[in-house]
Chains A and B, each alone.
Chain A
Amino acid sequence: MSAVAGDGTATARIGISIAPFAPLLACLGLLAAWQIGALLLGTDSIPTALDALRAVPDILGDRSGLANILDSIRRMAIGLASAVVVSIPLGLAMGRVPAVASFFNPILMVTYPVPKAALMPVIMLWLGVGDLSKTLVIFLAVTLPIIYHSFEGAKAVEEKMIWSGAAMGMSRLQIMARIVLPAALPEILAGCRTGLVLALITMVTSEMIARKSGAGNILFNALDMGQYDTVFAMIIIIGALGIIFDAAFDRLRRALVAWSDTRQDIPLSFS
């Protein structure tokens, strides 16, 4: 999701000056390509980038537009947060207790390839088209990568580190909380980042299936009515949300696991 700044010695020198603006440049480049492409094609269903951009403030300025988007974000946040709370302890337990792993592994392997949004119609039968079904689908989509990464992270914790904790008099539970969890945190956060992206995707697709409110609701209703400006404006808004969430998450991650980071921008400062 985040753009990669210049790397390699040849680009290192310019890397310094453009690095902070690289994501912006990438966005501008994308918009320019879109603008030119749309002008060349000249079809109705693909508005120019400028037209789409002009429609963005209309959506955000509109009371119901904004409310729809906030609805989506709220569901996404609840789904993601509850998935984090459930998946991390489960993944860590699987990584350290073989019995837990052999119980849950088959279950996860069976559910892994199922696209979670495809469960939407079934879930709707039980829980209706409201918040609950959509939040549940987001939750289901996000749990797997977080469980998996927590599992891998916990498995990889150096045994001697755990022994050191045991020698200090920690109980198994304390070792989990005070050694396995922090030691596996970089890996866990990698899972959470994947989870964040999946949450955003599932948020939109769930609203495609159960149209009641949300960003996806606006998008697909506009599509049905042929309001292509709005469709593409909505795509821009969702993309922007992705970039903002990801950047915010990356800041959080850096703060949490600064101890493990070999910072990417250090080599650049040598040139």
Chain B
Amino acid sequence: MRPLTMPRDSIANGPPAVPVRAAPPMIAIQGVSQTFKTAGRKDHLAISDINLDIADGAFVSILGPSGCGKSTLLYIVGGFVAPTAGIVKVKDKAITGPGPDRGPVFQEFALFPWKTVLGNVIYGLRQQGVPRAEAEERGHKLLAMVGLKGYEAFYPKELSGGMKQRVAIARTLAYNPSVLLMDEPFGALDAHTRTRLQNDLLDIWERDRKTVLFVTHAVDEAVYLSDKVIVMSRSPGRIKKVVDIDLPRPRRRAELLLDVHYQKYVVDIERLIEDAPEDAVHP
């Protein structure tokens, strides 16, 4: 059995036995619960007592059945929603609201329709007082990186779903948050676009090792991308299992699909989610 919460020392910190005081985790979720008050009905406990440490530079996915509170947890870490119990610390400091250290990418894209693609990407930079010329230069680079060169002057309504998602990712990367909070960012996309964006995301992550908290429904996606997969159970949402994904990086999708270790992770996690007795045994 693996421990339910991640050890304080991360993959980056090497073997756990080293007696040096470990650096604080990038994100520490401590005793977080969320109860929604509903008119007429009983209060609804959406997530219950979540404890989770996420190391600097780690790629962590959250998996779980629909309605188990994955988005709720992500919104709490983002500071958009205040938890009814518990705290979230970023770099050892309790958060009090949203901040540019944590960049969200929402499933609904939430682009600014009155701004062009470039305007969307540089909105955060301009907000932070970066001069226009400098912001635009960075915007052009980011758009090239997500494969949208030439679409700078387009408006969101003129883009496909996959393109909008790319703009949303570039917009968040633009202000250089140390944590990326991604809520099923590829959920609405076709398989081909999803694969491409997964690879792009991995490339970006390999390059500047941001901490990523990634919510998804897709087990294969979680295993492919992550260092750790958090499996949640439903009603109320709790952490059921933390699975370390010990697959070498950089990962190549084509090789991975043939890798038995990869396949075993996928099958095991799928089983964990499906038949869901709380004490399901992981090898």
- Name B168's closest neighbour in chain A (CB-CB): A164
Q: Which residues of A contact B100 (CB under 8 A)?
A: 167-169
Q: Which residues of A contact B108 (CB under 8 A)?
A: 158, 160
Chain A contact residue count (CB 8 A cutoff)? 20
In the complex, per-residue mask of B93-114: 1 if CB is within 8 Å of any chain A CB, else 0: 0000111101110101010111
Interface members, chain A 39-87 (any B CB < 8 Å): none
Known contacts A163-B98, A163-B110, A164-B104; is-contact A174 B78 (Cβ 8 Å): no
* Cα-based distance from A206 to B10 in the complex (angstroms): 75
Tell whether, in the assembled complex, residue A182 and residue B127 are in contact, meaning their CB atoms are under 8 Å apart: no
Q: Which residues of A contact B80 (CB under 8 A)?
A: 163, 166
Q: Which residues of A contact B106 (CB under 8 A)?
A: 160, 163-164
* Cα-based distance from A183 to B78 in the complex (angstroms): 22
Q: Which residues of B contact A165 (CB under 8 A)?
A: 127
Q: Which residues of A contact B156 (CB under 8 A)?
A: 259
Tell whether, in the assembled complex, residue B128 and residue A169 are in contact, meaning their CB atoms are under 8 Å apart: yes
Q: Which residues of A contact B113 (CB under 8 A)?
A: 183, 259-260
Question: Which interface class (under 10, 10 to 19, 20 to 34, 35 or more) fits B?
Answer: 20 to 34
* Cα-based distance from A164 to B78 in the complex (angstroms): 10
Interface members, chain A 230-271 (any B CB < 8 Å): 257, 259-260
Interface members, chain B 69-117 (any A CB < 8 Å): 75, 78-80, 97-100, 102-104, 106, 108, 110, 112-115
Known contacts A166-B80, A169-B128; is-contact A160 B110 (Cβ 8 Å): yes
* Cα-based distance from A161 to B128 in the complex (angstroms): 17
- Separation in Å of the B89 CB from the closest CB of chain A? 18
* Cα-based distance from A190 to B220 in the complex (angstroms): 48
Q: Which residues of A contact B103 (CB under 8 A)?
A: 167
Q: Is B124 interfacial (CB 8 A cutoff)?
A: yes
- Name B158's closest neighbour in chain A (CB-CB): A259
Known contacts A163-B80, A163-B104; is-contact A168 B110 (Cβ 8 Å): no
Interface members, chain A 172-200 (any B CB < 8 Å): 174, 178-179, 182-183, 185
Q: Which residues of A contact B171 (CB under 8 A)?
A: 164
Q: Is B262 interfacial (CB 8 A cutoff)?
A: no
- Separation in Å of the A255 CB from the closest CB of chain B? 12
Q: Is A170 interfacial (CB 8 A cutoff)?
A: yes
- Name A178's closest neighbour in chain B (CB-CB): B127
Tell whether, in the assembled complex, residue B127 and residue A259 are in contact, meaning their CB atoms are under 8 Å apart: no
Q: Which of B102, B155, B157 is A167 in contact with, Cβ under 8 Å? A: B102
Tell whether, in the assembled complex, residue B112 and residue A169 are in contact, meaning their CB atoms are under 8 Å apart: no
Q: Is B214 interfacial (CB 8 A cutoff)?
A: no
* Cα-based distance from A170 to B124 in the complex (angstroms): 9
Q: Which of A161, A170, A174 is B110 in contact with, Cβ under 8 Å? A: A161
In the complex, per-residue mask of B150-164: 1 if CB is within 8 Å of any chain A CB, else 0: 000001110000000
* Cα-based distance from A178 to B268 in the complex (angstroms): 47
* Cα-based distance from A257 to B155 in the complex (angstroms): 12
Q: Is B265 interfacial (CB 8 A cutoff)?
A: no
- Name B157's closest neighbour in chain A (CB-CB): A259
* Cα-based distance from A158 to B110 in the complex (angstroms): 7
- Separation in Å of the A183 CB from the closest CB of chain B? 7
Q: Which of B75, B127, B155 is A170 in contact with, Cβ under 8 Å? A: B127
Known contacts A174-B127, A178-B127; is-contact A164 B110 (Cβ 8 Å): yes
* Cα-based distance from A185 to B177 in the complex (angstroms): 30
* Cα-based distance from A174 to B126 in the complex (angstroms): 12
